[in-house]
Structure 1
């Protein structure tokens, strides 16, 4: 299709967009899109042509990203867009992105209309005696056919929000004020979208239309990705949050310039930011928090000035000006950390060391510079292992829950700590070539009992590690089946390819290979299945590789040549029996299972009753269960002489709904709740520690239960190239 035909066919779309300041694509964005397409169509693991078929996929994903619950667009809007369905490929190839931007602008207009209507609804009263319901999951519903239909959806949405607050004991005045502020804040966020945001959404729609784990990253997103991987940044060391149009300090990083100054505290609000000792101050009230962060970050040893309003002061109170010198901030709270759980074993107690690894991080730039002390997940874990050895710990649990992955190199190095030298994973590229990635450490540094705890949020590099430990028979894998991401990505700097002097094109995170376990299977789609399974908490229809409609299929290649450390076949049934017997008597675990059943039942409904009497009955039933649990806790305390506050907190797995969203409560209340959650008993972790404690006890009493296996045969030639 030629450019003129494309624009002529969609001329009506421009007339429909009424945004006050329509967003428009920048020339460099169109160039970046074209360059991305050249790379994706030639070098992606699943290289697909940019044609009419791909255009349709992009179109559908673009609309799904903008309006996933079908709350904003009408069917007439979708019909109006139909001319673009097979022409977005032309828009990318011809470097003319006006059409996708016009769609984004119409989305902003529709969002403003719907949210404005929601605020108007707050002026009326609602009848909660009617027997109607609100379907809160609408992703599979048709687009509203008319304005009346979409308004009815929003009427029920607002009514549901109102009822949640009413059931939480809030009066009408509080509810009106809270919801009006909520909808106004949502509208403000929509109005603050920039050209970069629209381009990011559109390019993500293209990238994920090929395969779920391919992403486009704008220059801003690229910087955030680098920070996450290196666990360091240059700034002032303050965690910021947007609250009521103010950028608020939510936390201070220990040892950072903000904390060391002693002049900033949690709850303070930033009013303006200035660069250098004398640069002009920029008013930031109403700004998005990520834009404020962009102003505050900068080069090491440079000065940033802040105008600050105390958290308890009125908007007209006097501000104070603070000058800080930027420094490198190490995000230690996101690094690997250790703890010890004392597990009772008959009349004795066994210390189980726990190492939590939130992600497989590596400071790639520092490593390239030759910095011998570059940040590394595997190095940190090795150090923690040595510290636990000094604590006389002989049983270890690696906690990988919600670890979404990171560096493959780190996963390989981490595996070597427990297996020594040998294959860790296999990679197959788009041509069918298979290579084996091996750990090169001469010997394992931890030979004691080992367990690995995973959940649905454990993905990619986490799955590589857990699968290798399982295949070697090196330890017991515990938890729920993992995410199922069995693909390898690389990051391509588009600016380097285009030889741009300054960042303007961003980066591509592109799938280039699929990885396989050393036993020949893949973690793709199915994930790692634990040896000892816990109940599934996550909604597998919404989260995990199997939730994607275009995920790569599960497949298998030949096994690598490796020597398993142990054969756990005879050990696992004994561990399972002990686990089942223990949780059957564990009140906290049984309460957890009860709550999970309730959550699963509610998920299946996909809707909420808007009848107050019915909702109160449901609420009263939950309250009765909690009171029964508290009574049980008091009875336990009477027997033991000391209340178990952690157990009491753990028994409230599904707390009563307060109807408030993040940022609507006071900051002190939010922080207090976070602290309580951190201090509450971690039922999953405690039971996993008991399981590895059982493993250690059984190995000690009967070493033959985990005898060494026979070597796995060397692989035959890889399967034919595709």
Structure 2
């Protein structure tokens, strides 16, 4: 639907056009929850957190529409809109009655979702008396602001560009190795998966695609420059999917880096997004707009443009690793595997009854840059030995076992005393786990009821 299509495009571009505020429904009011720094709402100095929006009008002279009692999803399309257009809001400050709302006029602008972009941190570890600096890059999605790219914006947002900048900064800080954290990364742009892989290899194939006619195409990295040629690891979990699996699979196939974590999701299909606004003729669009809005042909979409019919995502092909294996159904198996806090029997493509199966095609023409085959057995031994004395690891294993036990239970007590006892036991166990972890880190223990960090 149009709302989901708009949200998909926002997630892909990591940007939107609007007033720069997040909203939430509270007691029948659409309420300002946070304000984006540098956005129209903040610049106006007239909008505050906890303000309630009771009316919205388009342009300088448009009629106000009362939105009290509206769902946030229904109100957002009225508030977002094309950059440079005007929206007026009726606002009730926190604690005020609805007798005299103030009117605020804002000019919409492009808002970059900075908190959803790639980020970094550096951790220092003591290895045999030597300080080792590891740069960790959080890769939340394979985003690409395609609209800005098409418009010729030299500063368009993309994951590969952002990671390249981060790598340069980590090199300046003289890190000894880099970890790419792809946990919870559900994918995104295929070209960005190729570009990101290209930051770690010279040139060569990254992924193969087979369409419904069994035609196989190979997508290559043609840029010989390498941003990082030092030690590399890629961290994945069950919710690493699609483009994440292409990147992790290529790094593994080239022997360029070590894959650690849990088996990935197994989403190896290619979708093509069809914009229904471009398919449905303008005359038919106006007819539907008239029927829906009784003659008013300016029904607004979630992106703030004219009437939107959403988009259809069609599955048109399958991804294959350069080794010939499909990522569909099977995903990527890490070199070093961790216990999974996410139930593998409940989430993943292999849990879906109608999922396309795993299969293979011929391998691509590529040359490995290294190999971990001899090192992996030793690394596993070292990992297992280290985890035997790791308090957090032991707690994780216990928590997973406890979850499976609780999940298998078919009976839930309704006895208040027994429930209270169970909750107290759970709280005590959590506190004991937290204090064991804090003791290992040299931190003071928590007392019951204190905030846990």
Q: One fold, TM greater than 0.5?
A: yes
Match of 1:528 in 2: 332
Taking the aligned partners of 2:258 and 2:440, their CA distance within structure 1 comes to 32
- Check 1:284–1:338 CA distance in 2 against 1; reply closer, same or farther (3 A cut): same
CA contact (8 A) 1:399 1:453 kept: yes
CA contact (8 A) 2:197 2:251 kept: yes
Q: Which of 126, 146, 151 matches 1:364?
A: 146
TM-score by length of 1: 0.57
Give a deviation string over 1:45-87, Cα, whole Å, max 9, x none.
xxxxxxxxxxxxxxxxxxxxxxxxxxxxxxxxxxxxxxxxxxx
Tell me, yes or no, if structure 1 residue 304 matches structure 2 residue 104: no
Tell me, yes or no, if structure 1 residue 396 matches structure 2 residue 197: no
Match of 1:595 in 2: 399
CA contact (8 A) 1:412 1:465 kept: yes
CA contact (8 A) 2:92 2:98 kept: no
Match of 2:356 in 1: 552
Q: CA deviation at 1:470?
A: 0.6
CA contact (8 A) 1:636 1:643 kept: no
Secondary structure of the 1:613 match is helix
Tell me, yes or no, if structure 1 residue 249 matches structure 2 residue 32: yes
Tell me, yes or no, if structure 1 residue 223 matches structure 2 residue 21: no
The 5 Å alignment of 1:256-655 reads 256-311=39-94, 313=95, 315-316=97-98, 318-500=100-282, 502=285, 503-605=307-409, 608-629=412-433, 632=436, 640=442, 642-643=443-444
Taking the aligned partners of 1:477 and 1:370, their CA distance within structure 2 comes to 36
Give runs of ≥4 in structure 1 deviating > 6 Å.
Answer: none
CA contact (8 A) 1:540 1:546 kept: no
- Check 1:314–1:522 CA distance in 2 against 1; reply closer, same or farther (3 A cut): same
- Check 1:244–1:547 CA distance in 2 against 1; reply closer, same or farther (3 A cut): farther
Taking the aligned partners of 1:635 and 1:528, their CA distance within structure 2 comes to 35
Q: CA deviation at 1:350?
A: 1.2
Taking the aligned partners of 2:93 and 2:411, their CA distance within structure 1 comes to 42
Q: CA deviation at 1:630?
A: 5.4
Secondary structure of the 2:198 match is helix
Q: CA deviation at 1:634?
A: 7.2
Taking the aligned partners of 2:405 and 2:26, their CA distance within structure 1 comes to 34
- Check 1:636–1:364 CA distance in 2 against 1; reply closer, same or farther (3 A cut): closer
Q: CA deviation at 1:226?
A: 1.7
Give a deviation string over 1:351-370, Cα, whole Å, max 9, x none.
11111111111111222223
Secondary structure of the 1:353 match is strand
Taking the aligned partners of 1:319 and 1:293, their CA distance within structure 2 comes to 19
TM-score by length of 2: 0.89
- Check 1:574–1:266 CA distance in 2 against 1; reply closer, same or farther (3 A cut): farther
The structure number with the bigger radius of gyration is 1
Taking the aligned partners of 2:48 and 2:277, their CA distance within structure 1 comes to 39
Taking the aligned partners of 1:614 and 1:528, their CA distance within structure 2 comes to 43
CA contact (8 A) 1:269 1:309 kept: yes
- Check 1:240–1:550 CA distance in 2 against 1; reply closer, same or farther (3 A cut): same
CA contact (8 A) 2:81 2:108 kept: yes
CA contact (8 A) 2:241 2:264 kept: yes
- Check 1:365–1:535 CA distance in 2 against 1; reply closer, same or farther (3 A cut): same
Secondary structure of the 2:200 match is helix
- Check 1:443–1:606 CA distance in 2 against 1; reply closer, same or farther (3 A cut): farther
Structure 1: stretches of 5+ with no match in the other structure? 1-217, 657-672, 681-722
Taking the aligned partners of 2:79 and 2:148, their CA distance within structure 1 comes to 23
Give a deviation string over 1:176-228, Cα, whole Å, max 9, x none.
xxxxxxxxxxxxxxxxxxxxxxxxxxxxxxxxxxxxxxxxxx23322222222
Secondary structure of the 1:419 match is coil
Q: CA deviation at 1:316?
A: 4.8
Q: CA deviation at 1:317?
A: 6.6
| Greater alpha carbon shift after TM alignment, 320-329 vs 496-505 | 496-505
Q: CA deviation at 1:635?
A: 5.6
Match of 1:238 in 2: 21
CA contact (8 A) 1:229 1:361 kept: yes
Taking the aligned partners of 1:331 and 1:634, their CA distance within structure 2 comes to 34
Q: CA deviation at 1:554?
A: 0.6
Secondary structure of the 2:364 match is coil
The 5 Å alignment of 1:124-203 reads none
The count of corresponding residues between Structure 1 and Structure 2 is 430
Structure 2: stretches of 5+ with no match in the other structure? 286-306
Compute the RMSD of aligned alpha carbons: 2.3
- Check 1:324–1:577 CA distance in 2 against 1; reply closer, same or farther (3 A cut): same
CA contact (8 A) 1:633 1:643 kept: no
- Check 1:380–1:485 CA distance in 2 against 1; reply closer, same or farther (3 A cut): same
Q: CA deviation at 1:633?
A: 6.0
